Amino acid sequence: MRLTRPMLAAAAAAAVTALTGCGADGDGAAAVPETATGSLEHLAAEVKCDPNMQTDADTIRQALCEKGDEKYVLATFATDRGQREWINTAKDYGGHYLVGRKWVAVGHEDVVAGLRGRLGGTLEEGARHDGGAHPAGHGGHGG
């Protein structure tokens, strides 16, 4: 299956919309290990996730991981450029990203901060659309 840029943008938007929201502030002060590498299955095993595959294509493999209240998307990419294009598009929709070499985890801030303690990587944040304030009861969030 060949994915086009609009298909990747739609997948990124869906992942961010489904998983972002008002997360608790993670302190991120814990020691960060060397950034993990490997297949989606290898990365999922590192964080004890049984991946629910959403996209399995030549350019991107994407799975949903859930454990208790934690929910996040884990994606791997065939190329660095494909990864950066996906992240840049997804960041327009907001969200929190843990970025490694040819992989990304997307979820609430506290979830990706916790994953960083197991996978290493760099934290990135998407565009904020709420002006920095959280609406009462999180009523402004979809999904």
pLDDT at 10: 52
pLDDT at 53: 97
Residue 37 identity:
T
pLDDT at 24: 40
Is 8 a residue whose pLDDT tops 80? Answer: no
CA 33 from centre of chain: 18
CA 38 from centre of chain: 16
Q: What is the pLDDT of residues 10-35, one digit of tens each?
A: 555 555 544 444 444 444 455 889 99
- Top pLDDT among 4 and 84 is at 84
Is 138 a residue whose pLDDT tops 60? Answer: no
CA-based torsion, 46, 112, 121, 96: positive or negative: positive
E strand or H helix that includes residue 55: strand 52-56
**Quick count: other Cβ atoms within 10 Å of Cβ 92?**
14
- What's the predicted TM-score (pTM) here? 0.72
| Mean pLDDT across the chain | 80
Q: What is the pLDDT of residues 73-132, one digit of tens each?
A: 999 999 999 999 999 999 999 999 999 999 999 999 999 999 999 999 999 999 876 655
pLDDT band at 68 (very low <50, low <70, confident <90, very high): confident
pLDDT band at 67 (very low <50, low <70, confident <90, very high): confident
Is 59 a residue whose pLDDT tops 80? Answer: yes
